[in-house]
């Protein structure tokens, strides 16, 4: 099974983040495999586990929560096409190449719903994570998912 997260920006640009088999921690600390330096992201925000039967996500006690399809979760099994919201970051789950095409317009409503739910739960109010122009999700970032011990560059 091959799994990836697709970061979808408000301008329609997408960035594929392959997930290796095993555990991947998303957060802002240097020891996280998916590092996002944002105050809305906890030091160790959530963990994705990829293997055998599928992909699971587990919130690691984050301050602002982890959301799947607009629902705050502690732990959940992910399926292809699910929308994950952590802070202002929005990802679509891709499993074995599905969905093979992500239409930003079609996804827009689901993404806005997920972001609004995350913002409301964190006390920021509806739409706060996206802002008026969605600029909060308009940046590219690199991930070091290698098994080596080299330090990652700051994002």
Express each pLDDT in 120-133 by its tens digit: 766 665 444 444 33
- Give the list of residues 6+ apart from residue 71 with CB closer than 8 angstroms, or none: 117
Residue 25 backbone phi and psi in degrees, to 5: -100, 130
pLDDT in tens, 3-47: 999 998 777 788 999 999 999 999 999 999 999 988 999 999 999
pLDDT in tens, 100-116: 888 777 766 766 665 66
Spatial contact of 27 and 43, defined as CB atoms under 8 Å apart? yes
Closest to 89 in 3D by CA, of 146, 32, 51: 32
Supply the CATH classification number for the domain 3-132.
2.60.200.20
Spatial contact of 41 and 26, defined as CB atoms under 8 Å apart? yes
Q: Is the peptide bond before 77 cis (omega within 30 degrees of 0)?
A: no
Q: Range with the lowest mean pLDDT among 41-45, 46-50, 90-94, 140-144?
A: 140-144
Confidence of residue 140 (pLDDT cuts 50, 70, 90): very low
Residue 104: helix, strand or coil by DSSP? helix
Q: Range with the lowest mean pLDDT among 24-28, 87-91, 132-136, 146-150?
A: 132-136
Query: Measured between alpha carbons, how far is 31 from 119 in angstroms, rounded to an integer?
Result: 26
Strand ranges (E), 10-131: 14-19, 22-27, 34-35, 46-51, 54-59, 66-68, 71-73, 75-78, 83-86, 89-95
Query: Measured between alpha carbons, how far is 145 from 108 in angstroms, rounded to an integer?
Result: 28
Q: What is residue 44's predicted lDDT score, i.e. its pLDDT? A: 98
pTM for this prediction: 0.74
Mean pLDDT of the chain: 79
pLDDT in tens, 70-86: 899 999 999 999 999 89
């Amino acid at each position: 099974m091959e799994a990836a997260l697709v970061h979808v920006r408000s301008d329609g640009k997408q960035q594929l983040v392959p997930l290796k088999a095993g555990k991947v921690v998303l957060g802002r600390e240097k020891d996280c495999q998916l590092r996002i330096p944002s105050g809305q992201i906890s030091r160790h925000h959530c963990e994705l586990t990829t293997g055998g039967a599928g992909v699971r996500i587990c919130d690691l006690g984050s301050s602002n929560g982890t959301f799947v399809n607009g629902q705050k979760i502690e732990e959940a099994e992910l399926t292809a096409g699910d929308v994950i919201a952590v802070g202002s970051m929005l990802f679509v789950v891709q499993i074995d190449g599905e969905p093979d095409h992500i239409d930003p317009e079609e996804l827009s409503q689901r993404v806005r719903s997920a972001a609004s739910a995350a913002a409301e739960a964190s006390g920021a109010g509806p739409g706060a994570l996206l802002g008026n122009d969605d600029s909060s999700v308009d940046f590219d970032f690199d991930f070091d998912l290698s098994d080596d011990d080299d330090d990652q560059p700051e994002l």
